[in-house]
Amino acid sequence: ELVLNEKKIGISDLKQALGLLFSGKAEKELFLKADKDVPYGFVVKCMGLIREAGINKINIVTKPEEE
């Protein structure tokens, strides 16, 4: 499941949705958060689509480990 600005989208729509969202913005920065159960390969695929959409800065959001 992908969520962009609190709306569920399919992976096939990610690149286009990001293109529309960031259209006309000089600085294209995105914060990416993934649940620990999401396969690494899926995250990498999403990152590739993000780059293809012209986003030049991807920040990975992490959650501190619980002790």
The residue range of the domain holding 51 is 2-60
Give CA separation, 62 vs 33, 34, 37, 46, in Å: 7, 8, 13, 16
Q: Judge whether 51 lies within some domain.
A: yes
For residue 17, what pLDDT band results from cuts at 50, 70 and 90? very high
Question: Residue 63's pLDDT is what?
Answer: 83
Q: Judge whether 67 lies within some domain.
A: no
Count: domains in the chain: 1
Q: Judge whether 27 lies within some domain.
A: yes
Report the CATH number at residue 51. Answer: 3.30.420
Rounded average pLDDT over 3-19: 95
For 23-58, the pLDDT digits (tens) are 999 899 999 999 989 999 999 999 999 999 999 899
Q: Judge whether 30 lies within some domain.
A: yes
